[in-house]
Every structure is written in C-alpha cells, then in structure tokens.
Structure 1
Amino acid sequence: MTDEDKLLVEMRKILGDAVVWDRAELSRRDPGVDSRNFTAAALVRPNDTAGVAALVAYCAANGLELVPQGGRTGLAGGAATTPSQVICDLGAMNSVEEIDAFARVAVVQAGTPLAVLQEAALVEGLDPGIDLASRGTCTIGGMVSTNAGGIMAFRNGTMRNRVLGLEVVLPDGRVFSDLTRVMKTSAGYDLKHLFIGTEGTLGIVTRVAVKLNPVAAAGATALVGVPDAASAQRIVRHFLGRTGISLRAAEIMWHRFALAMSRMLGIEPGQLPLDASCLLLLELGADDLGAATTALEDGLAAIWEEAGILDGLVATSNQQARTIWRLREETEQIERMHKDPPSFDVSVPGDEIDSYVARLEAGLKAIDPAYAPYVFGHLGDGNLHISINVDGPVSHERHRAIEDVLYSGLRECGGSFSAEHGVGLDKRDAYERYADPVKQELARAIKTLLDPGGTLNPGKIVSTRS
C-alpha cells in the first residue's frame, strides 16, 4: 500500500461517511475557474464542524498541508493546490440554519452558495446586502475568506461589514466559536476580523452569522452614456441623495469593454446606447416597479445637463434589463475572446479614476502599442477590473511591467492593488512589492503565531520566510 493509499484509508476512518476523493477521481472532476484547484493528493468533504476539526487536527499532527475550498470561483489562486496537499471541501455544509426576520440575521453554514441565502432571505423580505455575478456558485465561507465585495459594496460594505459572528476551525483543530448575532458588542478584541479576508490561511470558516437588510420590492434598470467617470459619479451622488428609493447598483464600463461584450453576446447594433466613452449601469429600488421606473426617469432628467449625459435607456421590460446586466456580468466573454488574458482588480479613490484610467492606457501602450485594456467595475466604491487584450500567459517580466503601470502609486493615494479578488498565490509577488512593509511583517507574525506548522493554505498571501 502506497503512502497515498494509507492517507485515504486514514481519512475515511477519521471522517466516517464523508466524501473522500483520490487523485484519479479529482482528475475527472471540474476544478472550477482554476485548473490548479484539483492537483492535490485527495479531497475530503466533512459533513460538519466536528469533521472539519478532526481533519485539520489530523493534518496538523502528520505534517500535511490542507487547502480549504468553497465554490472554487476565486481568481487569484487562493484555492490552488500542489500534489502533496489535501483539500478540505466545505460543499456538504450548505444549509441556511436560521433566519431571524426581526433581528435581520441569518446563521449559515460556510458551504452555502450566496444564491441559496438570497432566496431564503427573500422569503422574509430580506437580503444579505451583498451580490456577486457568481452568486450561484460562490459560497458564504469563501466570501468571508476573501472579504468579497461585489455590486452592492458601495452601499452596504464588503463581506467584513456583513459578518456579525463566525465559527472557525483553527490550524491545530480547535474551534473558535464567536457566532455573535448582535450588532453591539464591546467585549475585548474582535477576533473574527482575523479570519475575514485571510483566505483560509489562519483558520477555516465553518459557520457565519450574516447581517440582513430589507430588500426593495422592485427595481428599475438603466444604461446611461457619459463622457467620463466624473460625470457618472455626479449621477450616482444625485440618486444617493434622494429619499424613498435605494440605489442598488452603479456599475461603470468603458467603451472598449462594452463594445466587445455586446459583440460577443450578439446584442444588435442600436439595441443599447453604446457610443459614449463611458457607460453607467444603474439599478434603483422602490416599493413597486412603477415607482422605481418613474424615479429613475425623473432623476436622470433632472441631472441630465449637469452630468453631461450623452444618451440613456431605461429598461421597459425584464428582458431588456437582463440584456443590460448581461453586458456587465458575463465577463467570461473576455476570456473567450482572449485565452487567459492578464487580468487585474484594483481599488482607486473616486476623484482619481479618470486620471488613473488615462495613465494606465498610456502606460500600457508604452509597453506594447497594441495593448488596449478592457476596463469596467463598481463605480460607487472605485473598484476597477482590467483585462489586457492579449492571449496569456505573458512572461514574468512582462507581467511585472504591467503591474508597475497598474499598481504604482495606488497605496500612496489611498487605493489598493487588490480590491475584491484577494491575494492568493498569484498576487503574492505584487503583495510583497506594493503592500506596506510593516503590514507584511505583522501578517507574517500572526501567521507564524496561529499556524506555526504551516498547515492551512501555505504559500498564499504571506510567505513566512524571515
């Protein structure tokens, strides 16, 4: 019996009826968005927190490296594995345990897809206050681990702002239980924040208490053409200042991205207003569709000249609204146009966006005159997504040169080289070059303190080398 066979026998003995896949089984399964997710020796899917704790304790005791995985939608290599590692898959822990409609709190197992929580909360007229295009696949635990943002972050904050309490399995197998379900707690260190955004390197999230918000009964959607991001921001501020409505989305797309997406999606010319330099996608919530549509139309008319609006379309049907949203959300079309294009995810302060985009266009053309980036993102919080119009991967030297254009000066002006996709494996080099050195020292110290054996997701975000 090989060492790998012995490992599988031990896993099945410890975890009972939990799913255990060997290397051969993994090779036949879909690894998600990153082919490196399933290069491990085995995958184990515990049924509950006790099972996760037993698996972690076994790995810690035997010097095995363990990689937590949720929906496998991450874009920074945070769930990537090596042939000697074991996967802890949270897919069996997928229940919404409780929704307290009065307190507006849900208690959810970590493997629960976002869409499942959204549907369960909607029955009570509530919503988790966060939304991602991958809502059907991404999991609550994964969203906590990456501090996910999405289209509603400008209004409700990132996942860090939605979490009231956590249950986490620590690197030695102990269970940290702080499933606080109240907003007010001033009881010493708020340690749950150690595990939000740390990509499973300090602990494996197993259960989450999530804050819920009332959801508007109906929403209206518009696509508006503007000359630049500053004009789009004037529109957003206008709607944020109005009462009786809620601005649920404010997404921005530059012309090159929108035009490429419309072609890939087969949207006929003239169906949407796509000729402006920038396009602003708005969604407004109100008590009913009529009120939302009227508020959107009246609001745009009131700000039209001041904001320099060039064109606009308020959706008159659900189908038209879906078409507008497809333009923004089905970004895998860019991946189909260009095989593995270099892609980036940054946060830029609002008043810097136009100058940043102009600077990156010029900087990229200085590297290669053929470079013409696709730029889009979440206007309200300054999160821009950037893909380069080239088949990848590019050389390490070329990738670093592109990063220098996109990342230089971001920290100094209050932005971030990684907005919502995390650091994982792929951005660790950028983290070491662009993150504050003292922050890096503290992060390494915390990792060494909590996980001295390097059991959980080693190599992601921080390197513990001195």
Structure 2
Amino acid sequence: MTCPPDRAVHGDLKAAAQALAAAIGAAHVKRDTGPDRGASLIAFPASTEEVAAVIRICRQFGLSVVTEGGRTGLVGGSQSEPGQIGLSLTRMARIGAIYPEERVAVVEAGVTLHALQTAALTHGLEPGIDLAARGTATIGGMVSTNAGGIMAFRYGVMRHRVLGLEAVLPDGQIYSDMTRVVKNAAGYDLKHLLIGAEGTLGVVTRVVIKLEPVPRATATLLLGLPDVGAALAAIGQAISSDVGHLRAAEALWQSYIQLTASAQGWSEPSFPLDQPVNLLLMLGGAQEADLQAEALRLFGMMAEAYPTTTGIIAASGRQEADLWQLREDTFQLYRKHAAAPSYDVSVPQSEIAGYLERVQEGLAGLDGGISPYVFGHLADGNLHIVLNRAGPLAPDLLAAVEEVLYAPLSALGGSFSAEHGVGAKRVHSLMATVNRVKLHAMISVKQTFDPDKMMNPGKVLPLSPNLEPS
C-alpha cells in the first residue's frame, strides 16, 4: 500500500488492534491514550521482535507509526494524531550488559539516561553525556534526536557515543549492527542515518554506548563576568589547566539567573547577580583539594584580568547541587511565561558576542520589544534562547522572530537546531534554511527507507516537500 504524498497513513484501526493484541498481548495495546496523546492506539512491545511485529502489522493495515521515548522533547517529535499508532518503548528498559574493561554498555532503547548513569557508576563509569531531563529521557530517544547536553564539548554528542545499534526498519526487518569497538571501517556506517532521524527511518531498539571513567572528585565554580569574551577566556583557562579537566561550562545570562535564583530563594551576598554573563565551571579530577585550589586560581586569574569579576566556589556537595540547579531549573521560564517560544541554536564561539548583539537588537525592535532569556553550553556554542512572552506567537511575529534568530546562522557556520532536533515544530525552519542539495539527499534517503511515509510522518521533512529553490 502506498500513501498519498500529502497525508499520513491512516488505515484499518479495528483490524490492526486485534492483530496487535494477538502479537504482543491485549494488555499492552491501549485505546485510552490520554489527553496529551493524539494516537488512536498505543502499543507497548517488550522486545525487538515485538517491535518488528508491530511495524509489520501497521504496514499491513495501512497505519502510520509514531515512536515515543521519554516524551521530553521540545519540538513535537512524538506528537501523534487520531488514526495513528503510538509505539512506546517503556517496556524495553533493560540494561543488557556493561563491560567495564571495554568501557561499553549494551542497553535497550527504553532505558533512561539516569538508569544507565546509575548502573555505570557501580563500575566507576558514565555515559559521557548528561542533560537535565536525565530522569525521563531515554537512550533510544536521545539517539533518535542526536542529543547533546553539557559534556558535548568534551565527549561529543550522542552520535559520538554510539558504537552500534539495532533498529526495526519500516518494512519490519531488523537491522542489527551491535558493534562494540571504536574502529570499524567495514563499508557504509548506516547507523548514522538512524541517529538523529527522529524515528522517521525506523525504530531504534538496542544501543551500544561508549562509557567514560568518572572522576573521583569535582569542584564547581560560578563566576560573574562582564561579557562573553571574558567567559570564553575563563573556559580557555579551564581547558588548558594542568589540574584535572573541565567537565562542564554553562553560561547563564543575567535575566535567566535572576529568574531562577528568585524562584529558588537563592541568594549570596558576595554574588549579587549584577553581571551580564555568569559562568558555571565544573572541574573533574583525582583530588578534591587540588581541584578546589585550581578553582580558586581560576577565580583569581579572572578577577585580575576583569576586575568586576565575582565568584563562588562550592564548598560542599549540597552547595554544588544548588549552583547547578540555577542552570537546570528551566521550568521557571514557562511558569512565568506560559508556553514561551524557545529556540536552540549553535554558533561558533568566536561569533557568539556579535550574534547575540544582533539578535537582542533585532528582537527589541519587534512588536512591543522582546528581551530574551539566554543560557546554554558555552564551551560548544549551543545557546538556548527563550522569549519573555507567553506563546504561541501570532504567525507574523513568529516569522519575524525566526528571521532575526536564524538569518545570520548559515553564514556564521552555525545551526538553527543544536540539540533539540527538528520534529514537527521546526520543519518549516529546516525547509527555509537547508541547502537544496542536502534537502534532495534527505528526501532520497527517506524515500529509500520509507516510501509509504509510514514512520513518524510530517517530522523532520514535510509530507510534501517543496523542492523549488529557496
């Protein structure tokens, strides 16, 4: 069966429900999908073979499939609609094996990041990736969105953490490449088509993840600095330090840290939150005393170079957690500005100051003036920009905002989507900014893997992409 090009696949739900119940058990096919899901049915398979059975049944009865991970995405990648089948991997949450000597873990796609972190920690290891949604974000979802997080500058994004994977393709066949080694030059490395594809080319079911040693000690330093240049200088000093290594470098612009500090009731007389840019640095190493001394040295060096610098060095695990909560409590943005429009861009570090100046000036000139909250992973140039407006925006204003934010990025060598993906929310942005040759190649890949547009239709690529030059 071939789907018309302008719509998602919607077929015989009643017959499909009966077949799904027979394949994976009636208890694992839900009709009551809840108020935050649109799909008519949700299937909960417990193995790769059951996922393959679900896909074959959906194909047989002409139904499109929307795969769910932890449902923590911000771009509508797991949005579904009536007539579709939701595919949840929550029953596939087993850690198959951890090989400490290889520093490798084999996990099912439904394992949460936190569960993997906890299991790896018993061996003194970690996945080399961390993000605030660690308790709900799943490894399969992170692979499918090529998630980044706070350690990307050191260990790479999810694409760099995956050695091998298993997936069910749109025809119901199982693609298996569970390689456990770094060196593998055996032809096309097809797993990279599935990483970042957001479920549009298949369903990731198992993953081989590289692990890294956990440092025995950490130290966290919060600096208040006069500008982006000072923050980048501090990062450079921390990266080149002879003591330990830099684990994270997170920037919090003034309005953002003032919002989260107020919401948490956090205050420190020696740190008045009056600096334009605040920088959280975490050092890792063998000896806590050495790391604390290095944090103090960094603070002193920055204060000498930039006399207005302020700073706090966490003196306990609790104080360290409190400082990091200032960064991770993004909920406060949406509590103050319901459904505030948010953006996730990458900018080369040397271009960040100029880009932000242009963006802030451009947004201020729009309807009523917009002053964005800015925070993000400064060591790799990933900025999160959230508007101080409740959403959704009127279409004309939305288009104007995106023009301000996205227009400079291509020439600067940046990206409109750093780590959140494209999903449904950013399809139009991709179409407006992507190179036409790349777009044709993406469409060809989709056509080859999923000619019936059965897998997560309308995500990443529109159902009927316009191939005219932009």
Q: TM-score, normalised by structure 1?
A: 0.95
Shift of 1:286: 1.4
Q: Which residue of 2 is the match for residue 138 of structure 1? A: 137
Give, as a single letter, the amino acid of the residue that structure 2 aligns with 1:109: E
1:25-54 Cα offsets, whole Å, 9 max, x none, are: 2226xxxxxx4xx11101111000000000
Match of 2:16 among 7, 32, 42: 7
Task: Provide the secondary structure at the position in 2 that maps to 1:46.
Answer: coil
CA contact (8 A) 1:141 1:208 kept: yes
Shift of 1:465: 2.5
CA contact (8 A) 2:164 2:179 kept: yes
Match of 2:34 among 13, 24, 27: 27
| In 1, Cα distance between equivalents of 2:298 and 2:385 | 30
Shift of 1:84: 1.0
| In 2, Cα distance between equivalents of 1:198 and 1:309 | 45
Identity of aligned residues (%): 45
| In 1, Cα distance between equivalents of 2:270 and 2:458 | 47
Task: Provide the secondary structure at the position in 1 that maps to 2:410.
Answer: coil
Unmatched runs of 5 consecutive residues or more in structure 2: 1-10, 466-470
Shift of 1:269: 5.9
| In 2, Cα distance between equivalents of 1:460 and 1:305 | 50
| In 2, Cα distance between equivalents of 1:5 and 1:423 | 32
Task: Provide the secondary structure at the position in 2 that maps to 1:411.
Answer: helix
Query: Compared with structure 1, are the counterparts of its residues 285 and 457 closer, same or farther at alpha carbon in structure 2 (3 Å cutoff)?
Result: same
Q: Which residue of 2 is the match for residue 153 of structure 1? A: 152
Shift of 1:309: 5.8
CA contact (8 A) 1:128 1:211 kept: yes
Q: Which residue of 1 is the match for residue 76 of structure 2? A: 77
| In 2, Cα distance between equivalents of 1:173 and 1:307 | 60
Q: Which residue of 2 is the match for residue 436 of structure 1? A: 435
Aligned residue runs from structure 1 range 368-407, under 5 A = 368-407=367-406
Report the RMSD for the aligned CA atoms in angstroms. Answer: 1.6
CA contact (8 A) 2:16 2:57 kept: no
| In 1, Cα distance between equivalents of 2:437 and 2:394 | 30
Q: Which residue of 2 is the match for residue 366 of structure 1? A: 365
Shift of 1:214: 0.7
CA contact (8 A) 1:227 1:308 kept: no
1:204-254 Cα offsets, whole Å, 9 max, x none, are: 100000011111012111110111111111111111112340211100011
Unmatched runs of 5 consecutive residues or more in structure 1: 29-34
CA contact (8 A) 1:18 1:47 kept: no
Task: Provide the secondary structure at the position in 2 that maps to 1:118.
Answer: helix
| In 2, Cα distance between equivalents of 1:96 and 1:241 | 36
Task: Provide the secondary structure at the position in 2 that maps to 1:106.
Answer: strand
1:415-460 Cα offsets, whole Å, 9 max, x none, are: 0000000000000011100121211111011101110111110100
Q: Which residue of 1 is the match for residue 7 of structure 2? A: none
Shift of 1:299: 2.8
CA contact (8 A) 1:169 1:204 kept: yes
Shift of 1:316: 1.0
| In 1, Cα distance between equivalents of 2:335 and 2:298 | 37
Shift of 1:354: 0.9
CA contact (8 A) 2:372 2:385 kept: yes
Q: Which residue of 2 is the match for residue 258 of structure 1? A: 257
Q: Which residue of 2 is the match for residue 122 of structure 1? A: 121
CA contact (8 A) 2:224 2:271 kept: no
Shift of 1:324: 0.9
Query: Compared with structure 1, are the counterparts of its residues 268 and 302 closer, same or farther at alpha carbon in structure 2 (3 Å cutoff)?
Result: closer
Q: TM-score, normalised by structure 2?
A: 0.94
CA contact (8 A) 2:65 2:86 kept: yes
Give, as a single letter, the amino acid of the residue that structure 1 aligns with 2:28: V
| In 2, Cα distance between equivalents of 1:70 and 1:240 | 34
1:93-130 Cα offsets, whole Å, 9 max, x none, are: 10111111111110010000000100111111111000
Give, as a single letter, the amino acid of the residue that structure 2 aligns with 1:152: M
Shift of 1:262: 1.2
| In 2, Cα distance between equivalents of 1:397 and 1:83 | 29
Q: How many residues align?
A: 455
| In 1, Cα distance between equivalents of 2:225 and 2:272 | 10
1:75-94 Cα offsets, whole Å, 9 max, x none, are: 00100011111011011110
Q: Which residue of 2 is the match for residue 31 of structure 1? A: none
Asked if 1:242 corresponds to 2:249, the answer is no
Query: Compared with structure 1, are the counterparts of its residues 368 and 308 closer, same or farther at alpha carbon in structure 2 (3 Å cutoff)?
Result: farther
| In 2, Cα distance between equivalents of 1:13 and 1:323 | 50
| In 2, Cα distance between equivalents of 1:13 and 1:280 | 55
Match of 2:25 among 7, 16, 25: 16
Shift of 1:271: 6.9
CA contact (8 A) 1:224 1:273 kept: no
Query: Compared with structure 1, are the counterparts of its residues 18 and 188 closer, same or farther at alpha carbon in structure 2 (3 Å cutoff)?
Result: farther
Task: Provide the secondary structure at the position in 2 that maps to 1:412.
Answer: helix
| In 1, Cα distance between equivalents of 2:192 and 2:449 | 14
| In 2, Cα distance between equivalents of 1:70 and 1:432 | 25
CA contact (8 A) 1:232 1:280 kept: yes
1:106-159 Cα offsets, whole Å, 9 max, x none, are: 001000000010011111111100001000000000000000000000111000
Q: Which residue of 2 is the match for residue 410 of structure 1? A: 409
Asked if 1:446 corresponds to 2:445, the answer is yes
CA contact (8 A) 1:448 1:464 kept: no
1:5-41 Cα offsets, whole Å, 9 max, x none, are: 443222111213662110xx2226xxxxxx4xx1110
CA contact (8 A) 1:377 1:385 kept: yes
Give, as a single letter, the amino acid of the residue that structure 1 aligns with 2:19: E
CA contact (8 A) 1:231 1:308 kept: no
Task: Provide the secondary structure at the position in 2 that maps to 1:323.
Answer: helix
Task: Provide the secondary structure at the position in 2 that maps to 1:251.
Answer: strand
Shift of 1:411: 1.4
Asked if 1:59 corresponds to 2:68, the answer is no
| In 2, Cα distance between equivalents of 1:272 and 1:438 | 50
CA contact (8 A) 1:216 1:246 kept: no
CA contact (8 A) 1:444 1:464 kept: no
| In 1, Cα distance between equivalents of 2:298 and 2:268 | 27
